[in-house]
Structure 1
Amino acid sequence: MKKFVSGLIVGAMLFAGASAFADSASLIGQKVQGLFTVEKNGAKVADAVIISGTAYAPVRAVSDATGAKLTIEGKKIIMGDSSNNATSTNEAKTLTDLKSQHNKISTDLNKHQERITDLENNIIPIQEEAAKLQPKLHQEQLDQYKQILQQTKAEVASLQQQLTDIDAQIKALENASK
C-alpha cells in the first residue's frame, strides 16, 4: 500500500512538472493567424507568421537583410552590429573593457583546453577500447567525441586569435596614452 501511495505521489509530481513546462513554451500548438511578407527596399526578405497578434520572422533572414552579425551560443541568439559598425565600436573601447574581454576569453580558452585534455586523455581512449570490444555499439560515440575534439580545437584557435587581437589593441591603447 505504501508503494502505491508513493508511486501515486511521484506520478502526480511528474505530471505537475510537465504541465508547468508546457506553460513556458506558450507558442507551441498556437494557431497561425496570418502570413506577412517582410521586405527591404522593395525586395522580399522572408515571410513572417502572425501568432496572437505578434509577427515572427526568421532571425537569420532579417539579420542578413539588415547586415547585423548573428551568433548562436547554446540556446541564445545574439544579434550584433554590422561589420562596419563593429570596427568603429572596437576603436572606441577603453583599456578596461579590453582587459575585461581578455580575461573572459582567457577563462574560456582554459576551459576549452581542459576539455581537450579530458577528451584526449580519458574519454577517447576509453571509447576506443569499448569500440574494439563492441564495435557496433561504441563506434558512433567514438566518432562523436572525435568530432567534438576537432570542434573544440577550432574554437581554441579562434579564441587564441581573439586574444592576439585584443593584446594588440591593448598595446596600441597603452602606447597612445604614453
Structure 2
Amino acid sequence: MKKLISGAIAGALLLTSVSVFADSASLVGKKVQGLFTVEQNGAKIADAVIIDGVAYAPVRAVSQAAGVELKVEGKKIIMSESTEVTPTNVPTPTPSATASTNRPAISEEQAKENKIRSLEIKLATLSGSIAMAEAQLKDKPDNAELQQKVIDLKAEYATLEAQLAELQK
C-alpha cells in the first residue's frame, strides 16, 4: 500500500513539473493577435504572427530575402552578411567567375540594388519594431527604459533612411 501511495505522489510531481516547464517554454495556448504577410518588392516571402506584442516570422525565409547567410549551430541561429547574392528575385549574374573565389562576379549596379533592397527590408522591420514599442509605451508611459528604446529605434531608422536616400541618388 505504501508503494502505491508513494508511486502516485511521485507520478503527480513528475506530471506537474513537466506541465509547468511546457508552459514556460512554449507558445501553446497563447493568443495570436494578428497575422501579417512579409513581402519583398511585392512578392510574398512568408507569414508572420503577432503573439503578446512580439512578431514571429520564419527566420530562414526572411534572411534569404535579405541576402543574409544563415547558419544554425546547436541552439544558436547565426546570421551574417553574405558575400554571395542569394535572393530568389535577383537576376542571376553573369557566369564569369574570379579565380580565387569561384563565385560569380556581380556588377556595381546589382550590388547597389541589393544594398537598397536590404536597407528597405531593414527599414520595414525597424518600422514594425517602433510601432510595437510605441504601443507598449502607451500602456506604460512612465517606463524610461521603453522611452529610450523608442528614441534609439527612431535614431537608427533615421540613419538607415539617410543611407537609403544616399544610395538612391
TM-score normalised to structure 1 length: 0.41
Larger radius of gyration: 1
TM-score normalised to structure 2 length: 0.43
